[in-house]
């Protein structure tokens, strides 16, 4: 039974056109996730890019991934990621056991993250795993033009906040059978807490792209 990586990369980005093939540190954004999967070949047997775009397809093949053409009906702005993953599995033979989802908009990941995560995934006999990061901000809502604290009391110190976490998008591991049921995260999913600067990166606009480029340059130095 195989473990495959799927990188969903459609071409219809509006805020940052063609972001998945935009050059980041000398290579296309998409390529960072492909190279990460290749560096974990002891876990990942095959790498697939799901796309509706010819340039993305070209770059994916150039960097050594296989491509599954995504139908236009599954490429809209509001289409959930799980439908792209399910479409890939439906095109493949039925011997895939695990799917590692690598989102191209999260191009930087700690080197040992997948090895650590996959070990946890197997040891806990989980059918899915995803990464989260603790939030240290004070949130509130605006009610009738007034700020109403949501996760703290006025005057409370940040270090005394009740721990809250957000889904950082760095990594997902899921049983293929779960994806075929239209799920990526199950009710008993294992949550892996990651405290790393890479967890703050999610490229959606040019500012995110510029920040990521700065982080890469800083780490090289």
Active site residues: 157
Burial of 47 (0-12, 13-18, 19+ CB in 10 A): buried
Query: In angstroms, what CA-CA distances link 138 with 97, 135, 172?
Result: 41, 9, 27
Edge-first strand order for the sheet with 2-8 is 66-69, 46-51, 2-8, 96-101, 164-175, 128-135, 190-193
Which residues contact residue 40 at a Cβ distance below 8 angstroms, ignoring those fewer than 6 apart? Answer: 114, 115
CB–CB of 104/47 below 8 Å? no
Q: Is residue 42 within 8 Å of 1, Cβ to Cβ?
A: no
Question: 46 and 89 in contact (C-beta within 8 Å)?
Answer: no
Residue 49: strand pairing partners: 7, 67
In angstroms, what is the C-alpha Rg of the chain? 18
């Amino acid at each position: 039974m195989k473990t495959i990586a799927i990188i969903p990369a459609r071409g219809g980005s509006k805020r940052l056109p063609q972001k998945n093939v935009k050059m980041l540190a000398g290579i296309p954004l998409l390529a960072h996730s492909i190279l990460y999967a290749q560096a974990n070949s002891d876990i990942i047997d095959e790498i697939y890019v799901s796309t509706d775009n010819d340039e993305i397809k070209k770059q994916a093949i150039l960097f050594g991934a296989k491509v599954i053409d995504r139908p236009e009906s599954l490429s809209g702005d509001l289409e959930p990621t799980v439908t792209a993953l399910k479409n890939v599995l439906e095109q493949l033979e039925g011997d895939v056991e695990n799917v590692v989802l690598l989102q191209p908009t999260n191009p930087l990941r700690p080197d040992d993250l997948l090895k650590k995560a996959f070990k946890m995934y197997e040891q806990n006999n989980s059918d899915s795993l995803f990464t989260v990061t603790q939030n240290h901000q004070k949130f509130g809502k605006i009610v009738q033009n007034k700020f109403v604290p949501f996760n703290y009391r006025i005057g409370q110190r940040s270090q005394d906040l009740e721990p809250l976490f957000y889904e950082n998008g760095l990594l997902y591991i899921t049983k293929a059978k779960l994806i075929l049921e239209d799920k990526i995260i199950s009710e008993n999913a294992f949550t892996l807490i990651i405290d790393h600067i890479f967890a703050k990166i999610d490229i959606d606009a040019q500012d995110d792209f510029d920040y990521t480029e700065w982080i890469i340059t800083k780490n090289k130095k």
